[in-house]
Copies of this chain bind each other. A is one copy, B any other.
Amino acid sequence: MTEAPQQGAILFYSEFDDPEEWRGHLRELAPWLDFRVWPDVGDPADIEWALVWKPPPGELRRFPNLRLIVNLGAGADSILADRTLPEHVPICRIVDPEMGRMMAQFALLAVMRHHRDFVSFERAKRQAEWRYIHPKPASAVRVGVMGLGSLGREAAALIASMGYRVAGWSRSPKRLEGIDTYAGQEELGAFLARSDILISLLPLTEETRDLIGRDVFSRLPRGAVFISLGRGHVVDEDALVEALRSGQVGEATLDVFRQEPLPKEHPFWAMEQVMITPHLASVAMAATSAPQVVENLLRTRAGQPPLNEVDRRKGY
């Protein structure tokens, strides 16, 4: 690591993350850092770095000495959608090993909750009914993970370690220990036909937008479970509503949506077979990701490119 500079200001903006948590963890590693929480920015010329999640459009153009934009998360699509970002400033994302673990555990929680019939038991409970359902072994449940980036791979491995039969699908062929892999449009049908529980961990790119729609749902086994964890715009929500209404998709857990917060009038809210969580399957944790943030502040100060830089053209 480069030698610590004596001062420098970082701007913090997030409606979801706790600034005090970040301030505390960054202070431990970089006591010299001047941590400013939007809108208390002070002199815009002081700001060298921005640590942000979905900042107000245009806001980051106000800082003439900005060296780096740190995206408070792994998915870069929301920050790249902002066409007002200063073009010459590099963007990096947080690649926290704990985020992968947290996502994998959330995926496992959702899988187990459906597998162990909690949706039925929740319904039975509202009716004060003791309704026994003999459990199936995990080995009788086929889970399919769409998207085999670092999050998808870790989720697939964790779920497989519990005895589930796991397959993965990605656009280009991949090999994974203990996981059957399928690739490309040609193998998508076979992958879907064997997935009792389908998990989306796809990133949002031009190719994945709207990918999970009527055609995908119709090729799942009837009554399959759908778990949406990657990005909301990957899913055609009207097609999902229709598949849930017809019973083609039996149950769902949805953490991401095309519009967030999910509008109050959306039909998902009223469907008792659908679990909704407010986009928090995995979040960057200050404790575990502060070190890589500080490393990148120092690298950009020293004129080096940041780690985990986002390629604006590729979209990730």
The chain A residues found within 8 Å of chain B, CB to CB, are 16-18, 98, 101-102, 105-106, 108-109, 112-113, 116, 118, 121-122, 124-125, 128-135, 137-138, 162-163, 260-262, 264, 269-270, 275-280, 283, 285, 287-288
Task: Give Cα A171–Cα B269 distance, bound, in whole angstroms.
Answer: 47
Among all A-B residue pairs, the 9 with the closest Cβ atoms: A130-B261, A128-B269, A109-B112, A132-B278, A130-B278, A128-B264, A125-B276, A121-B277, A135-B280
Task: Give Cα A288–Cα B129 distance, bound, in whole angstroms.
Answer: 30
* Best-surrounded residue of A17, A116, A133, A260 (most CB of chain B within 10 A): A116
Tell me which residues across on chain B come within 8 A of A106, comparing CB atoms: 116
Tell me which residues across on chain B come within 8 A of A163, comparing CB atoms: 101
Tell me which residues across on chain B come within 8 A of A138, comparing CB atoms: 102, 105
- Flag if B283 contacts A134 (CB, 8 Å): yes
Tell me which residues across on chain B come within 8 A of A130, comparing CB atoms: 260-262, 276, 278
Q: 9 more A-B contacts (CB under 8 A) besides A121-B277, A122-B122, A130-B260?
A: A109-B109, A109-B113, A121-B275, A128-B270, A130-B262, A130-B276, A132-B280, A137-B285, A137-B287
Query: How many of these chains are in the complex?
Result: 2
Tell me which residues across on chain B come within 8 A of A108, comparing CB atoms: 112
- Flag if A109 contacts B105 (CB, 8 Å): no
User: Given that A134-B280, A163-B101 are contacting pairs, would A125 and B287 also be in contact in the complex, using a CB cutoff of 8 Å?
Assistant: no
- Flag if A98 contacts B132 (CB, 8 Å): no
In whole Å, how far is A85's beta carbon from the nearest beta carbon of chain B? 25
Task: Give Cα A163–Cα B128 distance, bound, in whole angstroms.
Answer: 35
Beta-carbon nearest neighbor of A279 in chain B: B132
- Flag if A275 contacts B134 (CB, 8 Å): no
Task: Give Cα A160–Cα B109 distance, bound, in whole angstroms.
Answer: 15
In whole Å, how far is A133's beta carbon from the nearest beta carbon of chain B? 7
Beta-carbon nearest neighbor of A287 in chain B: B137
A-B contact pairs, 18 of them (CB 8 A): A101-B163, A102-B135, A102-B138, A109-B113, A109-B116, A116-B277, A118-B275, A118-B277, A121-B276, A125-B269, A125-B275, A128-B269, A130-B261, A130-B278, A132-B280, A135-B280, A135-B283, A137-B285
Task: Give Cα A246–Cα B287 distance, bound, in whole angstroms.
Answer: 34
